Each structure stands twice: as structure tokens, then as C-alpha cells.
Amino acid sequence: MAIRIRIVDGHFVAVCAARSKLRAGDFYYLCDAADRALRAKFLLDYESEGLLKSDTRDLVSEEERNRIRAEETEEEEIDA
């Protein structure tokens, strides 16, 4: 789901882009693809830290997992 990142009373808040109107000062807009990528990354991170049950495998495809791992490995090599 596409979202807008908005600052409300000094706090970052994510709101549904389809159900909200653009406001002056909206911090960022994330399209559906960006939202999926972030959700997959958070699920993998939380799962690896033991914060989620391993049944999250059903929520993130193996292809997405492999893509995220490949990108992280590539970044580690560049940083080295």
C-alpha cells in the first residue's frame, strides 16, 4: 500500500496515501513497491533477531529474501 510519511506534532507518522490528501510538509511518499521492499526487510530483520516467529517465511517470498541478502552482501564487500 502506498504511504505518505507525515510529521504530526513532531512525530513521524505513516498514513495511507490512497485515503489521505497531500499536505504541505508531507515528508515522503512511498509507492507500493517501496512499501513492499521495506516490509520484507523489516520482516527478515525482526525474524533474524528472534522478534517474530519463523512463519514469516510465508509473508516474504524466497526471491525477495535472496534479493535482500545479495544487496546486503554486495554493500558489505564495497564497504570492506
User: What's the residue count for the chain?
Assistant: 80
Residue 45: predicted pLDDT: 84
Verify that 16 and 37 share a domain, yes or no: no
Distances (CA, A) of 33 to 7, 30, 48, 76: 22, 8, 23, 24
**At 76, phi and psi to the nearest 5?**
-65, -40
The per-residue pLDDT for range 41-77, each reduced to its tens digit, is: 888 888 778 777 666 666 677 777 777 777 777 656 6
pTM beyond 0.75? no
Total number of domains in the chain = 2
Same domain, 65 and 79: yes
Identify whether residues 74 and 63 lie together within a single domain. Answer: yes
| Domain that residue 72 falls in | 32-80
Which amino acid, residue 28?
Answer: Y
Joined together, the cell numbers standing for residue 26 give 508531507
78 in the same domain as 41: yes
Q: Which of 65, 66, 74 is nearest to 47 (CA)?
A: 65
